[in-house]
Structure 1
Amino acid sequence: MSEPFLRPHSQVQVARLVLEALTPLSISTGSPDGVFDSALVRDANGLPALPATSTAGVLRSLWTQQYGSESADELFGFQKQDQGRASRLHIGWGHLLDSQGRAAVGLLLGTDAARLQNDPLWADVLAQRDAPVHRNRVRLTHRGAAADTGKFDRSVLPAGHRFALELRLHAAADDAGPTWGDLLALFAHPGFRLGGGTRAGLGRMRCIGLHTAHFDLRQPAQAQALGRLGADPSFTQGLTAQPVSQAPAAEWLAAALTLDARDLWRIGQGDVALPSKEAADKVPDLLPVTERRVRWSGAAGQISPQRELLLPASSLKGVLAHRMAFHARRFSGAWAGQACDRDKDGQPVAPAEVRALFGEIKDKARAGQGEQGWAGCLFIDDAYLPIRESARLMHNSIDRFTGGVREHMLFEEQNVFGGQAQVHLALDLRRLHLMAAEFSTSVAAVQRAFEAALKDLCEGRLALGARSTSGNGFFRASLPEAFTRPWPEQFSATQAEAA
């Protein structure tokens, strides 16, 4: 296995890419910051960054799915006891771009440090160190109520920010191994997502710029040209612009779900009131969640002056999982009152179909089993809507004994009226095949239960957001054709091993 080290790598393929976050990004340090449960990874200048290890891990996983583990070992390297091989692929950190599409390489000092405060995009993300954009999350029980100790939050970088990074592939002159184009095509793969919460709306990336070059180090002129590139991944002089080709993803399903609100709705608890025609003395107590995004016009970016309504994927994922559990039990004849599997806390374990599709958190293992967990196979993206007409509703609490109004229990709620949101869905069928076998169910059973839950949502029988018991949060949509066709049941042994 040591032979590849003896072969000279005289050929270098260089690619410099610009990645844009289509949905908010949350690459966490893994530790709280004293106020929030997670903090974003930042570089020496305090700017959010894409760690090279995160990019490399996602690329290796996707490459393994497509081309097998042996090919991944040859390209990305490996270490198994006393045998190993260094990676032929070198990946740099992703640097956050400013409003003019320039990266900050190294620690900015002196006059260069003024760019951090003078650029509107950088100044905004630096201000987020003290007041980060975050998502409030809560884990629900089988009764639809918040689980004890199930409240947490996640810091995110707003959608629209762009990063520049560099890849270098080293090869011998006569190397006929994995092609450079196949690797770059993975940046357009539906499974290319970075950071945490990727199955709950975060981390979807899009490659919007690609420049490449090939250098033969046996020729002094080309070796000097490689050295002149410098360390700035946003510098592309001497490189050739290339289109981003689509990676083969035959074992993935992707579709868009267009949701039309039938009436009033509100998701989450926001901090900024929506514009209203009604005069009011105070801000409503309950507000819809709104967020800002970065918008680009060519190579110039700015923070959108108008906030947008957020339809978080976590809300959609939660209601679909609970309704899917109902349909899975209905189809299997597991009625209420019958004995069922329970976790170590005594709560009913979700049906196998739900766990195969949506995954299972580590601390919810069945009683008598050790801690274990699996990532889900379904990816749902966050969606944004333009701010529309709103309605302010007054509420009070009634004393159950006297039938009168309880003192100090008057509050006001601001709801959104109507609107349309397009939610992108992606399903990893190859992984679902393995998870269905792991949970002793079938892909057909998973599809049957999920399609029934999705149909309830599309036909207005499943509500999203707050006050669903009062008639709010009902939407209409057409079932995506890609999810109604029969999902493949079988994959080859090579494909199963790769997954």
Structure 2
Amino acid sequence: MLTYRYIAKIILEAETPLFVGSGETSLTSDALVMRDAYGFPMIPGTSLTGVLRHELGFGDPKKETAFWGWQDGDKGEGAKLRVSSAYLILDGKIADGSEQQREKYFEYFDNLPSRQHVRINDRGTAEDKGLFDNEVVYKGCRFVFEMEARGTEEDKALWEEVIQTLQSPLFRIGQGTRNGYGRLKVLGIKEEKLNLEEEEDFKKYLNYDNSLNVEEVPNYKTNNGEPQEKNFISYKLELTPELGFLFGEGTGDDEVDAMPVKEKVVTYENENLTFKNEQILIPGSSVKGAIRHRTCFHYNRRMKRWAEVYAAKKDLKKLITGVENKAVYDLFGAQGGWDGDKHDGCFDEYHNKKDNCGSRPPKRGHVLINDVFYPEAKADKIFNHVTIDRFTGGAKDGHLFSEKIATLPDEEQNITIEIVIEDKAFDEEIIGAFEDALHDICSGLLPLGGMTTKGHGIFTGTLYKNKEKLYEYEN
């Protein structure tokens, strides 16, 4: 009999901005975040359940059906695990629609930050219909939710694994988890393990308070332990900008035409949600895009695919650039709709079937890069430019423009970028090409950000793999 009840109230903090989509659009954004009945961001219980089920039961059907049930024809079993939606914590309690909360916070959450994205092709230009944007929830926002499982005493180990999964570096929520969004940190866990056959536990269960409101986070049992699972490869880049960098906002201000992107960050002071000043942002999607293109280049170099052979033949060029490149597909994923059988002949001639002809299904990527915020960085250095008429030697009319770049106040201060890869059976050449791309960043050969042709975004530094030094730049 299922006489045991495992209950946990869990507080999560967004280590990176969060994007759980509602499927709706507006006049100002292509994709809006999910909101509760009072207009504040939330995480649906179905999203939490789906991610937990996937991460815990991946490759193990027994684990997948243990808490989440199963169905086979007219036979089956219902789920034993109940997961509530996660609600935003404002002034020490979840949003309840009170006038005080709306006056104090609603303006900030009614106009959330919007992220601009663009798909870049192998020529370095934007793809047709590749511009889109979406809302994000501020970094630092806290959410609380509850889980309850019905089971036996033997289910304790599986319950502990569910809790541990929440603390894994691979645990991400929402859309864009491969573009820097959705990293959550467990701030506190309050657990109850009750045996309903014991009178005291039975009474405790009957009187259990289901409210998600929490008075003090320190009352919760904080779990800062490292996750037990090691099914990922971690890379860390400690970078020093040669001059400055510019990850553009897409607009300027009253001084310049282009400026670095900034976003507000949420903190909690005395349990009350407060906003910090805007901070310089390095979007994970921008870093991933640069690495993705350079990985494609190095994989082609390693496979001896030279431009003079492929560039003149469109069918062959498509096979080695973009998502049809095996390294890009395996590491970064791709949308569906491509069929390798259409290129059967050129596969045989130029690929020796190493890339496996045939249809490739859509799949998500295995590379996770977080958004990075730098409160110390400043955006006060201005560069002015002018286009010179080659005949007169004078400035062209309307061709004076300028930009601000981000700089660090301390020349010895580093920018840290952490990358996690799900540990799958990748080809040696694929991992080698990926590490070659990271090597290029640390040696100043792969600039990051915008306006790199003007000298911005050059970094040098040190590369670590699983905490072991892989490369260090020497000037």
TM-score (ref. length: structure 2): 0.86
2 CA distance for matches of 1:244 and 1:87?
29
What is the aligned counterpart of 2:159 among 180, 185, 188?
Answer: 180
In the alignment, does 2:369 pair up with 1:380?
yes
Q: Go from structure 1 to structure 2 and tell me whether the alpha carbon gap of 1:240 and 1:194 turns closer, same or farther (over 3 Å shift).
A: closer
Q: Go from structure 1 to structure 2 and tell me whether the alpha carbon gap of 1:416 and 1:101 turns closer, same or farther (over 3 Å shift).
A: same
1 CA distance for matches of 2:446 and 2:321?
22
Partner of 2:94: 103
Q: Go from structure 1 to structure 2 and tell me whether the alpha carbon gap of 1:272 and 1:409 turns closer, same or farther (over 3 Å shift).
A: closer
TM-superposition CA deviations, 1:262-306 (whole Å, max 9, x none): 113211225675xxxxxxxx33111110111012346344111x2
In the alignment, does 2:6 pair up with 1:22?
no
For residue 309 of structure 1, report the CA deviation from its aligned partner.
Answer: 0.5
**1:264 aligned counterpart, secondary structure:** coil
Unaligned residue ranges in structure 1 (runs of 5+): 1-6, 274-281, 437-441, 487-499
Partner of 2:292: 321
Partner of 2:400: 410
The residue type equivalent to 1:384 in the other structure is F
Q: Go from structure 1 to structure 2 and tell me whether the alpha carbon gap of 1:395 and 1:380 turns closer, same or farther (over 3 Å shift).
A: same
For residue 64 of structure 1, report the CA deviation from its aligned partner.
Answer: 1.6
2:260·2:379 contact (CA, 8 Å) conserved in 1?
no
Higher strand share: 2
Q: Judge which range, 409-418 or 25-34, deviates more.
A: 409-418
In the alignment, does 2:209 pair up with 1:230?
yes
Q: Go from structure 1 to structure 2 and tell me whether the alpha carbon gap of 1:364 and 1:338 turns closer, same or farther (over 3 Å shift).
A: same
TM-superposition CA deviations, 1:366-423 (whole Å, max 9, x none): 5837683221111001111123262112223344665543322222211123463222
Partner of 2:271: 299
The residue type equivalent to 2:420 in the other structure is A
Partner of 1:217: 196
Percentage of matched positions with identical amino acids = 26
Partner of 2:463: 479
For residue 343 of structure 1, report the CA deviation from its aligned partner.
Answer: 9.2
What is the aligned counterpart of 1:421 among 390, 393, 415?
Answer: 415
1:16·1:236 contact (CA, 8 Å) conserved in 2?
no
Unaligned residue ranges in structure 2 (runs of 5+): 343-357, 471-475
CA RMSD of aligned residues (A): 2.8
Partner of 1:466: 450
The residue type equivalent to 1:447 in the other structure is I
TM-superposition CA deviations, 1:343-380 (whole Å, max 9, x none): 99899444312221111233566583768322111100
Q: Go from structure 1 to structure 2 and tell me whether the alpha carbon gap of 1:216 and 1:289 turns closer, same or farther (over 3 Å shift).
A: same
1:165·1:234 contact (CA, 8 Å) conserved in 2?
no
Partner of 1:127: 110
Q: Go from structure 1 to structure 2 and tell me whether the alpha carbon gap of 1:342 and 1:137 turns closer, same or farther (over 3 Å shift).
A: farther
Q: Go from structure 1 to structure 2 and tell me whether the alpha carbon gap of 1:63 and 1:388 turns closer, same or farther (over 3 Å shift).
A: same
Partner of 2:74: 82
2 CA distance for matches of 1:299 and 1:236?
8
Partner of 2:124: 144
Partner of 2:99: 114
2 CA distance for matches of 1:27 and 1:313?
17
Partner of 1:336: 307
Q: Go from structure 1 to structure 2 and tell me whether the alpha carbon gap of 1:343 and 1:384 turns closer, same or farther (over 3 Å shift).
A: farther
In the alignment, does 2:78 pair up with 1:93?
no
2 CA distance for matches of 1:344 and 1:328?
14
**1:414 aligned counterpart, secondary structure:** strand
The residue type equivalent to 1:254 in the other structure is S
Partner of 1:493: none
Matches within 5 A, 1:271-286: 282-286=254-258
Q: Go from structure 1 to structure 2 and tell me whether the alpha carbon gap of 1:392 and 1:236 turns closer, same or farther (over 3 Å shift).
A: closer
How many residues are aligned here? 445
2 CA distance for matches of 1:168 and 1:401?
76
The residue type equivalent to 1:117 in the other structure is R
Q: Go from structure 1 to structure 2 and tell me whether the alpha carbon gap of 1:342 and 1:55 turns closer, same or farther (over 3 Å shift).
A: farther
1:210·1:244 contact (CA, 8 Å) conserved in 2?
no
TM-score (ref. length: structure 1): 0.82
1:344·1:364 contact (CA, 8 Å) conserved in 2?
no
**1:479 aligned counterpart, secondary structure:** strand
1 CA distance for matches of 2:300 and 2:466?
25
1:343·1:364 contact (CA, 8 Å) conserved in 2?
no
1:311·1:382 contact (CA, 8 Å) conserved in 2?
yes
Q: Go from structure 1 to structure 2 and tell me whether the alpha carbon gap of 1:402 and 1:364 turns closer, same or farther (over 3 Å shift).
A: farther
2 CA distance for matches of 1:159 and 1:420?
21
The residue type equivalent to 1:462 in the other structure is L
In the alignment, does 2:382 pair up with 1:392?
yes
2 CA distance for matches of 1:410 and 1:167?
59
